[in-house]
Structure 1
Amino acid sequence: MMPHRRSIARAFCATLALGAFAAPACAQDTWPNRLVRVVVPYAPGGSADTLGRLISRHLSETFKQSFVVENRGGAGGVIGSQMVARAEPDGYTLVVSGIGSHVVAPLTNASSFDPIKDFTHIALLGGPPTVLAVNVAQPIKDVPGFIKHVKSLPEGLSWASPGQGTHGALIGEAFRQVTHLNLVHISYKGAGPAVADVAANQVPAAFITLSTAAGNIKSGKLRPLAVTSAQRIVDFPDIPTFKELGYPQLTGTTWFSLSGPAGMPADLVQKLNVAVRKALQSPEGQAELRAQNMETFDWDAPTFNDFVKKEIAHWSPYIKQSQATK
């Protein structure tokens, strides 16, 4: 609803308030009284799309109104996110935000949008950690062995990621910077093709989401060396975390979240935050997240907003250094 229309609506309700029909006439203004768009700024099939559809289904059931996913991919999540940033902050246009679109993209393309000023961040949805995995034919058993092997190669070692702006690319670049290894990044257009080439030993290693690599790990085609989660994953207890191996700065997930345009009413943000957390912490929600090797945290909106700011501050030096060396 455009500003002048909202003014007309308020004036209309104020006029009706003088009469007996005020309550029924203005009650229709209660959110949500029509379809809510949930923009996923990526193509269908990925983690963002999975989480967007999961939470949209739960919100539809909670509010008895349709929450419909709309995929608007392109430019690493920038195109769909920009569309939402320009929408009315009335709660009818939301976006599945995340580390790629709201941390990496704005730092690599400052003209895209301001990830703090241009959005209302509502709730963390969750996401999978990233795993460093190698083809089982490689003579590498663990992270110390990986480092030793790379140092023995004059030409360095190639590694795959799902593409620029992804958590895999970010973790791989940060690992290269902290270890000073000669690692050559091969950027793919998606996690599927990247993990397929590593499983076929076309590329020796990858920094990839655990949810994408899980099948090839279980089938014995990939050997996981370390994962970026804060604790070991229940279904993969033998994979050490980067933190326990001495790399705490590589802790994190490919997190996704629910956001809206800047200026959304505080009571609406609170209502959505509570509903999202209830859905994700339910037995059904937890089962769906675990099936995707995803983790989440039960945070209120202020805590989540602080997290977004900390993520930007934490990853900014690595992204800027990466840009400087290109």
Structure 2
Amino acid sequence: MLRRFKALGAMLSLVMASTMATAAPPHYPSKPIRLVVPFSAGSATDILARIISTKMGEGGTYQIVVDNRPGAGGTLGATTVARSAPDGYTLILVSVGHAINATLYPKLGYDTVKDFAPVSLVASVPNVLVVNAASPYKSVRDLVTAAKAKPGAMNFDSAGSGSSTHLSGELFKMQAGIDIVHIPYKGTGEALTDVMAGRGDMMFAPTLSAMPFVKQGKLRALAVTTPARTSVLPDIPTVAEAGLPSYAFDSWFGVLAPAGTPKEIVDALNAEIGKVLASPDVRERMAAQGAEPRRSTPQAFASYIQVEIGKLAPVVRQSGVTAGQ
């Protein structure tokens, strides 16, 4: 009997320790939390931020205010957060561009790894190669053939240097062996507007941003960048299927806090984000846009960022891309 009580006591201690490890301080949050989006309104990052912040606010405990801080491939917003107080009231939703920028920018106002406390991955979103609906290009093969016929005459828009939309295009250029000109914008919305207006030949846009225009018949989707097709565009081939067998580029999004944010706050935010991503209505909204919920532990996200930096660095270097191009 004594052994049983000791075993029960040990189990209760473990449960209490686990609860204490994920419990936020008693008065947190006591005011609105600012979620910085380092890209413009209408971007994939912005859409995800608003889906997540709206759901977090439904419980009454969390009030999230989305703060768009676009510019310099997301580094302006990241610098703001890196220099903010580590009190849990300033967060940032970053994209894969956060890992790209570690190589793209020789001098950042922050350390990509050391100046942030990873909270959780939140989603994976394919980029989709789109052209104007009236464009003569009906396939990836059409684009490549036209680009090879007139080197340097065609262009591709992006949400800015160092964004996933940019590196997707650079990888496409390298593997297709073509010369097309990169035109950076300050956000996805502006870039897509010019493609729809016929001023841009093509763009590798996040499905979150491009899908509404594809459905409206304003854009034509030619291929997705991920290794497998996406359920939201099941009839659209991958770039690999369309003629570039080695091509694959996956975009991800995640939440970071400033370095030094107390572990109990990070854990509490991670748990809340987990609840949000498990919610059927959030999963449905994400799936409708081609996004896949993708939660992780803070520790796993930290490791993932470092792996991504190492994986993407050769693509940046081989392309010859530098910040500001």
Q: TM bucket by the smaller chain?
A: 0.7 to 0.9
Instruction: State how far apart, in whole Å, the 2-side matches of 1:257 and 1:244 are.
Output: 29
1:262 paired residue among 254, 259, 262? 259
Say whether 1:103 aligns with 2:99: yes
The two structures, once aligned, show a CA RMSD in angstroms of: 2.7
Say whether 1:305 aligns with 2:302: yes
Aligned to 2:192, the other structure's residue is in SS state helix
Could you tell me which runs of 5 or more consecutive residues in structure 2 were left unpaired when the two chains were aligned. 1-23
Q: 2:215 — aligned with what?
A: 218
Decide whether the 8 Å contact of 2:208 with 2:289 is kept in 1: yes
Say whether 1:116 aligns with 2:116: no
Q: 1:37 — aligned with what?
A: 34
Identity of matched residues, %: 36
Deviation string 1:188-230 (CA, Å, 9 cap, x unpaired) is 3332333233333333322222233323323444332211234
Deviation at 1:131, TM superposition (A): 1.2
Of residues 299-308 and 173-182 in structure 1, the stretch that sits farther from structure 2 once superposed is 299-308
Instruction: State how far apart, in whole Å, the 1-side matches of 2:233 and 2:125 are.
Output: 13
Instruction: State how far apart, in whole Å, the 1-side matches of 2:312 and 2:190 are.
Output: 26
Say whether 1:49 aligns with 2:46: yes
Deviation at 1:273, TM superposition (A): 1.4
Quick one: higher RCO (CA 8 Å, sep 6+), 1 or 2? Answer: 2
Q: 1:252 — aligned with what?
A: 250
Deviation at 1:85, TM superposition (A): 1.2
Distance 1:69 1:198, change over 3 A: closer
Q: 1:5 — aligned with what?
A: none
Say whether 1:94 aligns with 2:91: yes
1:177 paired residue among 170, 174, 177? 174
Deviation at 1:119, TM superposition (A): 0.5
Aligned to 2:125, the other structure's residue is in SS state coil
**How does the TM-score come out when normalised to structure 1?**
0.80
Deviation at 1:168, TM superposition (A): 1.0
Instruction: State how far apart, in whole Å, the 1-side matches of 2:25 and 2:293 are.
Output: 35
Q: 1:22 — aligned with what?
A: none
Q: 1:229 — aligned with what?
A: 226
Aligned to 1:96, the other structure's residue is in SS state strand
Large movers: runs of 4+ above 4 Å: 27-30, 136-139, 243-249
**How does the TM-score come out when normalised to structure 2?**
0.80
Deviation at 1:93, TM superposition (A): 1.9
Q: 2:15 — aligned with what?
A: none
Instruction: State how far apart, in whole Å, the 1-side matches of 2:32 and 2:281 are.
Output: 24
Instruction: State how far apart, in whole Å, the 1-side matches of 2:203 and 2:70 are.
Output: 24
Say whether 1:166 aligns with 2:163: yes
Aligned to 1:89, the other structure's residue is in SS state coil
Instruction: State how far apart, in whole Å, the 1-side matches of 2:276 and 2:119 are.
Output: 14
1:74 paired residue among 71, 84, 96? 71
Deviation at 1:249, TM superposition (A): 4.7
Decide whether the 8 Å contact of 1:281 with 1:298 is kept in 2: no
Instruction: State how far apart, in whole Å, the 1-side matches of 2:151 and 2:227 are.
Output: 34
Instruction: State how far apart, in whole Å, the 1-side matches of 2:54 and 2:151 are.
Output: 52
Instruction: State how far apart, in whole Å, the 2-side matches of 1:269 and 1:79 are.
Output: 23
Decide whether the 8 Å contact of 2:225 with 2:247 is kept in 1: no
Decide whether the 8 Å contact of 1:242 with 1:251 is kept in 2: no
Q: 2:275 — aligned with what?
A: 278
Residues 19-38 of structure 1 mapped to structure 2, 5 A cutoff = 30-38=27-35
Specify the code of the residue in structure 1 equivalent to 2:250.
G
Instruction: State how far apart, in whole Å, the 2-side matches of 1:155 and 1:197 are.
Output: 19
Decide whether the 8 Å contact of 1:108 with 1:323 is kept in 2: no
Distance 1:62 1:124, change over 3 A: farther
Instruction: State how far apart, in whole Å, the 1-side matches of 2:83 and 2:217 are.
Output: 47
